[in-house]
Chains A and B, each alone.
Chain A
Amino acid sequence: MAWLVRRIAASIAIVFAVVTITFFLIRLAHGKPFIPGGDQAVDPAVIAVLEEQYGADKPSHIQYIAFLRQLTRGNLGQSFALQRPVADALAEAIPNTLILTGAALLLDFLLGLGLGVYQALRVNRLPDVVLGNTTLFIYSFPTFWLGLILLLVFGEWLHWFPIGGKTDPVLCPAVDSFRCTLDLMHHLVLPALTLGVVGAAGTARFQRAAMLEVARQDFIRTARAKGAPERRVVLRHQLRNALLTFITRFGLAFPFLLTGAVLTETIFAWPGMGRIATEAILRRDYPVVTAVALVASAMVVAGNLVADLLLAAADPRLRSASADVT
């Protein structure tokens, strides 16, 4: 329990540090809010009024204190560029990011786990060699490139999937919610594939290695010597122990998915947090950038915490090690 409290306290400290660093770093970067670029002439008087209205004219440390005060009241401030409360914008975007990353995570783990186990059971045979090289090939794909290729082939050429967006704006919400849900799933396929397939290739390689590592352990040999059926040996003994690697990867997958989501959401016009973050950075929308850093770091830290808890639950040795430390 004490270990858990310490982990939560450390997690909060990490999130706080990330937010603080982001808050000051984005203000140190070149470029200013309310200046859209050199092409548009913006009246300096207009910029001055806007800076005053949004509090961006004050020194950074004063803005930081104001930000912390607002944060304690659950207020993330007003977006400079979106011209609405940051909390409202994120409240709409976060569920979309969770849908996308959730689908990608599911694909990543189900496909990765299945392929890894399949390869391990056919180690050094033709399927293992072919899948090994294929997963390595896919793992080396940049996410944005894969996204563009999928969009071109399955969207523009074959017309199998919609190009961008979360739902068809003509159909939804004009038709009933069931159809819109199916439409959403139709729109989700390509971005989830983009984000999930590359991760699945990595997961498959990790899982294969873990399965082979466990296969060399004494208890596997013992189980076979005792006459346990092969299916039971694989599922109950080998796979179960190899899942520890899988759980660790679950924690590591969050940062990967969130960074991948930034590009994927932009390519597929998916209305999530990553897309908001990209536009906020380009437009120096300080409140949104800081809030996204807050939410993203909290999600990553929480993901790792959940992974640690799952590991502790799955492996009693880790629980006792944690107790020893505390």
Chain B
Amino acid sequence: MRTWARLSIVAAVVVAGACERRAAGCSGDYCGTLVMAAVGEPPTLLPTSTEEVVARDIAEQLFLKLADVGMSTNTIGDEDFQPLLAERWEWDGPLTLVFHLDPRARWHDGMPVTAADVAFTFVAYTDSSVASPFRSAVRRLASVTQRDSLTAVFRFRERYPEMFYDAVYHMRILPKHLLLSVERSQWRTAPFGRAPVGNGPYRFVSWRAAQAVELAADSTFFLGRPRIARLIWRFTPDMQVAISQLIADQADVREQLATPENIARARAAQQLALHPYPGNTYGYLGFNLTANGDSGSPHPIFGDREVRRALTMAVDRARLLRSVFGDFAKVPPGPMSTLLWIWDPEIRQLPYDTVQAARSLSARGWRDRDGDGVRDRDGQPLAFRVLIPSTSQIRRQYARLLQEQYRLVGVRVEIDEVEPSVVGERVSGGRYDAVILARVNDPTPSSGVPQSWTVGGRSNYSRYRNLAFDRLVDRATSASTREQAQPAWRAAMELINADAPGVFLFALDNVAAIHSRVDDVRIRPDSWAALLRTWRIPSDRLIDRDRVGR
């Protein structure tokens, strides 16, 4: 027994020794380790090949753009853009934009960043064999050429207000000397994507599959040495595990808490500080205006504008929102997130009015003739199915609440919970009645709104078709100032609200939870990690994990 006791003491000492973090090590102003609790793992870190959120957050640290939007997220013109790789730029005529690169910019292998890299990057983004999801975002650029080693010339096909945004926002400059020899069709699987060499404030250190990506501050970064020494993205497949890691002080940052329950848990954790910021996501119940599986004919229910309007008026969106999100979301005044500058609560919307909704449905012939509580017409019940991804707890809640609200006006709703890939397949093929979707906005309404709601928009899954709306969107996107664009956007939003191709349910207000030892936290709403290099941990607040160094 005494032997066992001795062995136990020895084992405990060994384990305690193992658990002891290095108390010595890094000290001063440039220490610190931030652990990000990330949900999901990117397939690659090559910016051309993925638009996954975690990949974008990591790419923000590794690969710079020529310039980026400022805190105002104004995308019209170039006044509010901040220089990054380009130290300055000028317009050479209406269709030509000239960037002058910062001569101090270097790749992490020591090579200079040149205009040849910029031209090479443009070719890569537009090459169909690379299959970049951003290819269409740069479609209005005709060419990018190198004038000299530090001057890149962008030529556009046409003149429009967001030329500068298109030139810089989606393209992260890539190293020609490292990627030229890689077959373009093989870029997605290229080893470079798992061990990239960048030009940003942090350099790549390691990627342990399904575990973590580690970056280290580049002390020679030409725009100023980052204040935090190490960044670690810790991957978990589940949001609740990520939140638990944060609460248990095993991670420092979760940029989005998503539900009131998570926000309450994070608020109760003493070491965390909460940082609200505008969200870039809105959610809606989308109606399929064409028949389920037959885009050539109208949907028997949603093809009728008056019925759609009635179904919109039957939904108490504010109450649904309070039930699901509490105070951490808003009812959107149209298809938009709170990030977009066109957000305006004064935009005219259909009211919540069940009496009017019932009257409209009756007027269109939908009455409960057989007394079963469900309206019918020509022997067909007023019933439809709502498609939701089985992975979304929020949409499951919304679907059940909608089911109940519709029941009260005599509409039967059934819920189809399926895997996300099945949702994607069915909505893109038009094989559904209604679906609850969430959309993530770029900082400009000019990309998301046309994409989702105009004729020919590649994610116009409702098959919404109103040429007057399309014209208003055209007018808005071609206005040269926000002041000129605002009336057109407002008219477009009021028109789509009146047509009711969907019920716009929620627009998230993001809340980030960040360890309270972190100072100078600035979050740009379109990309929370864009300014990470300016965050810092004061030397008197360093904790054990900040001092662990390589």
Mask of A76-92 contacts with B, CB within 8 angstroms, 1/0: 00100111110001001
| A315 contacts the other chain (CB 8 A) | no
Would you call B132 and A46 a contact (CB within 8 A)?
Answer: yes
A183 proximity list for chain B (CB < 8 A): 18-19
Would you call A156 and B235 a contact (CB within 8 A)?
Answer: no
- In the complex, chain A residues 149-190 whose Cβ is within 8 Å of any chain B Cβ: 151-152, 155-156, 159, 162-171, 173-175, 178-179, 182-183, 186
For B424, give its contact among A38, A81, A165 (CB under 8 Å).
Answer: A38
Query: Distance (Å) between the CB of A49 and the closest chain B CB?
Result: 4
Would you call B18 and A186 a contact (CB within 8 A)?
Answer: yes
Do A276 and B550 form a contact, CB below 8 Å, given A83-B188, A282-B421, A284-B421? no
Interface 9-residue window, one of A59-67, A111-119, A267-275: A267-275
Mask of A18-61 contacts with B, CB within 8 angstroms, 1/0: 00000000000011110111111111111001100100000000
Most buried by A among B21, B210, B212: B210
| B128 contacts the other chain (CB 8 A) | yes
| A279 contacts the other chain (CB 8 A) | yes
Would you call B131 and A46 a contact (CB within 8 A)?
Answer: yes
Do A165 and B419 form a contact, CB below 8 Å, given A49-B128, A174-B550? no
- Closest B residue to A83 by CB, please name it: B43
Would you call B209 and A92 a contact (CB within 8 A)?
Answer: yes
Complex CA gap A83/B207 in Å reads: 14
For A164, give its contact among B14, B206, B208, B245 (CB under 8 Å).
Answer: B245
Do A43 and B43 form a contact, CB below 8 Å, given A83-B189, A156-B247? no
- In the complex, chain B residues 373-420 whose Cβ is within 8 Å of any chain A Cβ: 387, 389, 391, 418-420
A175 proximity list for chain B (CB < 8 A): 22, 548
- Closest B residue to A161 by CB, please name it: B248
| B306 contacts the other chain (CB 8 A) | no
B418 proximity list for chain A (CB < 8 A): 30-31
Complex CA gap A173/B208 in Å reads: 10
How many A residues touch the partner, as a band? 35 or more
| B292 contacts the other chain (CB 8 A) | no
| A266 contacts the other chain (CB 8 A) | yes
A44 proximity list for chain B (CB < 8 A): 428, 458
| A247 contacts the other chain (CB 8 A) | no
A282 proximity list for chain B (CB < 8 A): 391, 419-421
| A244 contacts the other chain (CB 8 A) | no
B355 proximity list for chain A (CB < 8 A): none
Mask of B129-141 contacts with A, CB within 8 angstroms, 1/0: 1011101100000
| A278 contacts the other chain (CB 8 A) | yes
Complex CA gap A41/B460 in Å reads: 9
Complex CA gap A78/B44 in Å reads: 13
Would you call B21 and A171 a contact (CB within 8 A)?
Answer: yes
Query: Distance (Å) between the CB of B36 and the closest chain A CB?
Result: 10
| B365 contacts the other chain (CB 8 A) | no
Would you call A159 and B422 a contact (CB within 8 A)?
Answer: no
| A302 contacts the other chain (CB 8 A) | no
Q: Looking at chain A's contact residues, is the secondary structure mostly helix, strand, loop, or mixed?
A: loop
Would you call B458 and A41 a contact (CB within 8 A)?
Answer: yes
For A170, give its contact among B49, B232, B423, B439 (CB under 8 Å).
Answer: B232
Complex CA gap A41/B131 in Å reads: 14
| B82 contacts the other chain (CB 8 A) | no
For A169, give its contact among B232, B439, B452 (CB under 8 Å).
Answer: B232
Do A43 and B389 form a contact, CB below 8 Å, given A38-B427, A271-B211? no
| A93 contacts the other chain (CB 8 A) | yes
Mask of A181-208 contacts with B, CB within 8 angstroms, 1/0: 0110010000000000000000000000
Do A171 and B548 form a contact, CB below 8 Å, given A182-B15, A183-B18? yes
Would you call A83 and B49 a contact (CB within 8 A)?
Answer: yes
Complex CA gap A200/B365 in Å reads: 64
Would you call B128 and A156 a contact (CB within 8 A)?
Answer: no
Would you call B550 and A163 a contact (CB within 8 A)?
Answer: no
- Closest B residue to A78 by CB, please name it: B189
B248 proximity list for chain A (CB < 8 A): 155-156, 159, 163
Do A49 and B33 form a contact, CB below 8 Å, given A38-B461, A164-B241, A169-B211? no
Complex CA gap A175/B549 in Å reads: 9
| A237 contacts the other chain (CB 8 A) | no
Mask of B274-295 contacts with A, CB within 8 angstroms, 1/0: 0000000000000000000000
A156 proximity list for chain B (CB < 8 A): 244, 247-248
Do A271 and B209 form a contact, CB below 8 Å, given A32-B421, A37-B421? yes
Would you call A169 and B35 a contact (CB within 8 A)?
Answer: yes
Would you call A169 and B425 a contact (CB within 8 A)?
Answer: no
Do A83 and B44 form a contact, CB below 8 Å, given A37-B421, A267-B241? yes
Would you call A36 and B420 a contact (CB within 8 A)?
Answer: yes
| B238 contacts the other chain (CB 8 A) | yes
Would you call A45 and B427 a contact (CB within 8 A)?
Answer: no
Subset of 17 A-B contacts with CB under 8 Å: A30-B418, A38-B420, A38-B424, A38-B428, A41-B451, A44-B428, A49-B131, A53-B185, A78-B189, A84-B189, A164-B245, A182-B15, A183-B18, A183-B19, A269-B238, A271-B211, A275-B210
Apart from A84-B189, A155-B248, A170-B21, 5 more pairs, CB < 8 Å: A40-B51, A49-B129, A92-B209, A165-B211, A272-B210
Question: What is B's interface to A at a CB cutoff of 8 Å?
Answer: 14-15, 17-19, 21-22, 33, 35, 43-44, 49, 51, 128-129, 131-133, 135-136, 185, 188-189, 193-194, 206, 208-212, 214, 230, 232, 234-238, 241, 244-245, 247-250, 387, 389, 391, 418-428, 435, 437-440, 451-452, 458-459, 461, 545, 548-550
